[in-house]
Structure 1
Amino acid sequence: MLTEAPAAPARNPTRIALVLVVGMIMATLDQTIVNVAIHRLSAEFHADLHTIQWVATGYSLALGAVVPTSAWLVGRVGAKRLYLLAIAAFAVGSVLAGLAWNIESLIAFRLVQGASGGLLMPVGMTILLRAAGPERLGQLMSTLGLAILVGPLLGPVIGGYLIDEVSWRWMFFINLPLGVLVLVLVSRVVPDDAPEPARALDIRGLLLMSPGLALVIYGVTAAGEQSGFATPAVLIPLLAGAGLIAAFVRRSLRVPVPLLDLRVLGNRTTGTSAVLLAVFAGGYFGSMLLLPLYFQVVRGESALVAGALGIPFALASGATMQVAGRLIDRIPPGRYLPASITVALTGFVLFIVQLDADAPYWALGLTMVLMGAGGGGTLMPVMTTATRPLSREQQPAGSTVLNMISTTAMAVGTAVASVTLGALLPVTGGLQALHAMAPDQRADLAPALAEAFQHTYLIAPVLIGLALVPALLLPRRRVTESHAGR
């Protein structure tokens, strides 16, 4: 009887999936709330856009740095215990972020949130795979996709209300009761598991990758502050970061058990999909920072209204993501992905064309539907396309590499967008100067501010358009199972 007890919950993997969704919703809520809060945090801490964007970028960097260690940690700690620890750490990091006394402490506590939040998806997938088996994983993955739908849909609205009516600190404090709820549910529903012998952790690779990415993004940010790249403050971190990343790539291709097995990119379809993912995610996610700022800075809306106006984007993205996985199973990627990317590209171009100080919200909302539908219809199918030709043994490594590419592109895209906007704002002093202006002064500046956002938004369609090139190189016929992995 003792050996059969843990198996009872595993016979209902849907219940386990729903519990895991609650934990993932907590993380996605937090990410989307912060985008709405950037304007308020800039005023609260008297920080310019180059600095305040690290609240979002630092989270993404920490998230990406911890993803490659998830398999090693599962082996050392156990999947259920690690998931519980990640939820607890995320809740503690959230409380500390809510107690932040300056911008430096807030960024530091966001790193804690990112490091713990980065474990939720890979560890959750491990728990689900063990409970359901690979034959039911595809069906249950759509359940996990609810987190991607619910978080971005509710996060900006809940966050906007808390920021406007309560305090910005409560957008972090709200994670404490959510975290306690998830801890209770996971403890009761998810079956226990024991740690297993883990492979060695490539510590040297980790020490090369994480600082390398951080230095590159710091260099990009410094370029905005220095108004160019031809200064030591910019070139030194950029070159040092590039050197560390090059050393990491060289090591990953040579050691038997690397932190990231980049050799999976040698498969033509996987490598092409990875390039597509990098450029598309850089443009798509990089623009996420701009939308709530446009509504608050140019149109003078509150955080709550800015969050609500982004609902068409989030709803279209999440809803499309629910059906995109089924479509990519039926339509060859070389035919499906160019179409979905074109939808996103069309949405961004139409959005930018009408982006001024007086654009009607209903028209912006219609173009946001296209933007979100194209993004939601592209991201998961790209991941599926990239991992499908890999052998079963290679797929975990492939999934880790692709998640790392996505989070890195998100961090770089966010940094580039913030630097570009900061450089184009028509006032000396950036957001801080705008905070100090009277409402009528800001109204007079609205057309020039809208133009700055319009030009910054051009980054997204340029990168999304470039993603069409690798998309057109993907297979235009369905690949049979017998050819997988070749």
Structure 2
Amino acid sequence: MANDTPALPGTPAALIARYGERYRWLLLFAVMVGTMASIMSSTIVNVAIPDISRHFALGQGRAQWVTSGFMVATTIAMLTTPWVLARYGYRATYVGAILLLLAGGLAGGLADNFNLVLAARVAEGLAAGVVQPIPAVIILYAFQPHEQGRASGIFGMGVVLAPAVGPSIGGLLVDWFGWRSIFYMVVPFCLASLWMAYKYVPVTAPGGAQADEGARLDWRGLALCTLGTLCLLNGLVELHGGTAGAAAVLLIAAAVTWAAFVFWQRRLLDTGRKPLMDLRLFGYRQFTMGCIVAFIYGTALFGSTYLLPVFLQLGLALSASHVGTLMLPAGIVLAITIPLVGRLADRQPTHLLVSTGLTLLALSFGLMVFVGLGTGLWALVALAVLGRIGLGFILPSLNLGAMRPLAKGLISQGSSTIGFLRMLGGAAGVSLCGIVLEWRLGAHGVALSAGASNPARIAAFGETFLMLTLLCMLALVAAWQLRVRPSDPSDPSAASGPVTS
């Protein structure tokens, strides 16, 4: 953040003067707690989906919207983060989002029908979408280039503790107190985050500038983006659960809407107005490749986050508490891997780190094909650990590799755009996994909820994991293009240099 701002209360200059050089780490820790709460709310509910389905007598497709509704809301909200930060500043934006997350958690736990549960999940998703791009902006503004990898690693280690410990505690809570209890897990994190926000988060906008009360949101672009996302996801669902005609109409509508969105964003740029998504970002080759990796990686990651607990419970007949316990060692390994890779990201090419992570992630998915009812628990833990080591290589490296070349004024837009595309891939991935799973179950002539598990049902899950393997291999092609090419004159990143505080 800029250090030449007048030392008014709540500005970066005043906070640095009060807390000294350690302030940037205190700020990082403050936003880390809120991000942990938002990520926990996105992942912990997966262990409760079977219980929620039984409680409200839902089919698999409708229950899937507990996850998909959150993902769609998060995806859309991410694109609004640059405007909200410019309009209201860091502190007001962050506090407002955390309050919405807190309200969603309480409402979900108290809901007495599924529509209210879904509304609470959407509210949590909107909050998470605004919060999650903020740490990357802070890291690139507040830390020197040689510290950014370490900061990303430390931040990542803290953030993954939530999904590492969350499913284990959540599984126990579901078994002991029922599915409602998992919604309340975000409450202490939100309260702690609000307290720290008023101490450490500045009131200014990115770069240390004062918030601009006249900043205008691109409502037309937001409407087009929302419509395109909903048409895409519903079209994917209709591909299997509905009619071919309805699927074709929705997917064509999605393509037309996204084309209109791109046209409108270009028009705003040409007329000097601020678009929802600044298309100048895609003039940076590394950023463009990073976005492609982020989309495919999001598809595989979030699709598997939905698929794995369902497989362990309905495929291998394990309890929710067993599922959480099995995933705990993998989460701990991930928390250890991320800071180590973060330090490597300050010295090693990010395309090598991201490619290594995708390879390990693909391998962990591919080996799931060989899992059966006789597979030992140690093998399931080993596969989960392998996949989390892969994630540990990707998480602190991808954003840095894609965003380091960006001009300073594009950092906020870059963080929200790459996050948007990752979450769009994730929302599509959840739907895609549901579609492929239902397809393969039908091909094997078995149902997901009828009776005890059997080899045919497990084979359907294995084939769905194989699809995720192929997606990771596809992302490897784009990941290799993250490498720096200083001799490429057409690449703006060759001349822009690193971002400094």
Aligned residue pairs, count:
473
- Paired AA for residue 289 in structure 1: Y
Corresponding residue for residue 240 of structure 1: 253
Inter-partner Cα distance in structure 2 for 1:423 and 1:16: 47
Question: What are the superposed Cα offsets for residues 187-234 of structure 1, whole Å, 9 maximum, x if unpaired?
Answer: 2444554633554321111010012101210111122212xx6233x2
Matched, 1:346 2:363: yes
Is the 2:157–2:334 Cα contact (8 Å) retained in structure 1? Answer: no
Residues 244-263 of structure 1: pairs in structure 2 closer than 5 A: 244-256=257-269, 257-263=274-280
- Paired AA for residue 259 in structure 1: L
Show CA shifts across 1:6-37 (max 9, x none).
43555323223223222222122222211111
Question: Residues 81 and 133 of structure 2 are in contact (CA less than 8 Å); yes or no, is this contact kept in structure 1?
Answer: yes
Q: Which residue of 1 aligns with 2:470?
A: 462
1:49–1:430: 8 Å Cα contact kept in structure 2?
Answer: no
Distance, in Å, in 1 between the alignment partners of 2:136 and 2:360 is: 30
**Which residue of the partner structure matches residue 174 of structure 1?**
185
Query: 1:356 offset after TM fit, Å?
Result: 1.4
- Select between 46-55 and 196-205 the one with higher mean Cα deviation: 196-205
Closer/same/farther in 2, CA of residues 290 and 278 from structure 1, 3 Å limit: same
TM-score, normalised with respect to structure 2: 0.86
Which segment is superposed worse, 257-266 or 301-310? 257-266
The one-letter amino acid of 1:382's match is L
Are 2:104 and 2:123, in contact at CA under 8 Å, matched by a contact in 1?
yes
Q: Distance in 2 between matches of 1:337 and 1:428?
A: 39
Q: Over the residues paired in the alignment, what is the CA RMSD in angstroms?
A: 2.8
Answering whether residue 346 of structure 2 is matched by residue 321 of structure 1, we say no
CA deviation profile, 1:411-451 (whole Å, cap 9, x unmatched): 000110012223333698954x43xxxxxx41xx4222211
Structure 2 CA distance for partners of 1:43 and 1:424, relative to 1, 3 Å: farther
Q: Any unmatched runs of 5+ in structure 2?
A: 1-5, 205-209
Which residue number in structure 1 is paired with residue 372 of structure 2? 356
Comparing 371-380 and 152-161, the one that deviates more: 371-380
Tell me which residue corresponds to 1:413: 429
Distance in 2 separating the partners of 1:264 and 1:177: 37
2:3 alignment partner in structure 1: none
Find 1:267's aligned residue among 284, 302, 308: 284
TM score, norm. by length of structure 1: 0.89
The residue type paired with residue 24 of structure 2 is P
The equivalences for 1:304-315 within 5 A come to: 304-315=321-332
- Residue segments in structure 1 that go unaligned for 5+ positions in a row: 435-440
Give, in whole Å, the separation in 1 of the partners of 2:356 and 2:185.
39
Q: Distance in 1 between matches of 2:8 and 2:479?
A: 49
Report the CA distance between 1:385 and its aligned residue: 1.5
Tell me whether 45-54 or 372-381 shows the greater mean CA deviation: 372-381
Residue 69 of structure 1 corresponds to which residue in structure 2? 80
In the TM superposition, residue 171 of structure 1 has moved relative to its aligned partner by: 0.8
Counterpart secondary structure, 2:98: helix
**Structure 1 residues 454 and 3: CA distance shift in structure 2, 3 A:** closer
Matched, 1:152 2:166: no
Task: Tell me how far 1:295 sits from its aligned partner.
Answer: 1.5
Select 2:101's aligned residue among 87, 90, 93: 90
Aligned residues with identical type, % of pairs: 29
CA 30–334 in structure 1, closer or farther in 2 if over 3 Å, else same: closer
Q: What's the offset of the Cα at 1:312?
A: 3.6
CA drift of 1:284 comes to 2.6
1: distance between equivalents of 2:124 and 2:400? 27
Shift of 1:335: 3.8
Q: Is the 8 A contact 1:10 1:132 kept in 2?
A: no
